[in-house]
A and B are shown apart, each in its own frame.
Chain A
Amino acid sequence: DAGITQSPRHKVTETGTPVTLRCHQTENHRYMYWYRQDPGHGLRLIHYSYGVKDTDKGEVSDGYSVSRSKTEDFLLTLESATSSQTSVYFCAISDPDRGGYGYTFGSGTRLTVV
């Protein structure tokens, strides 16, 4: 979707290194989410944000941190990457305050930790 972009699209990194994934939106939506998608598990929430500097943990937050210093950017950091964090990461945005509960996903980041 044109209103939300993720970078990088693909990344290979070594165990123990820090990695930061970026989600950028141009929709001015209040809520932003980071999910990981793994076979057999579907989409699982890592962290989400409900405003600048307002974030909360999801069900699989261990080993991840996030930051949101601007409305348009939501960063996901793997503090010390492990092989179990090899996954496809999706960012999503929504804005329930606008009454639509619309939900838009980014194209995903495929991360491989070797």
Chain B
Amino acid sequence: KNEVEQSPQNLTAQEGEFITINCSYSVGISALHWLQQHPGGGIVSLFMLSSGKKKHGRLIATINIQEKHSSLHITASHPRDSAVYICAVMSGNQFYFGTGTSLTVIP
């Protein structure tokens, strides 16, 4: 069972491109997180959303509660954005995770 589905699984982009990663979920949630994990590195929470849209620098996250869908956008992508991006939803006392989107940005 996959409560959280992400697409695409892998993504390669040229530096400067606009990137979108999608997340769909099937459970009722109180919050949704977008996480970033660099190779061999720890996991950092980029955004926490319960409605609407948030922006931080070149990153934008949106959520549509009715459609149970969220997107993470990266504008003007840069090689340092290369990482795995993970969607996580909080439902009840637990978090459910997507399997991640591996992003590679080529100079």
Give A residues with C-beta under 8 Å from B: 1, 31, 33, 40-45, 48, 50, 56, 58, 90, 92, 94, 96, 100-108
Asked whether, in the complex, the Cβ of B93 is within 8 Å of the Cβ of A103, the reply is no
Please report B residues at the A interface, Cβ cutoff 8 Å: 30-31, 33, 35, 42-45, 48, 50, 86, 88, 90, 93-95, 97-100
A96 close to B94 (CB less than 8 A): no
Q: Is the interface of B mostly helix, strand, loop or mixed?
A: strand
Contact B94 A45 (CB under 8 A): yes
Q: Measured between alpha carbons, how far is A43 from B45 in the docked complex, in Å?
A: 14
| Contact (Cβ within 8 A) A101 B43 | no
- Chain B residues with Cβ under 8 A from A48's Cβ? 93-94
Which one of A31, A33, A42 lies within 8 Å of B99 (CB-CB)?
A: A42
Decide yes or no: A103 and B97 within 8 Å by CB, A43-B86, A96-B30 being known contacts.
no
Q: Is the CB of A104 within 8 A of B90?
A: no
Q: In the complex the two chains form, is A105's CB within 8 Å of B93's CB?
A: no
Complex contacts, B94 vs chain A, CB 8 Å: 45, 48, 58
CB-contact partner of A108 in B30, B42, B88, B97, under 8 A: B42
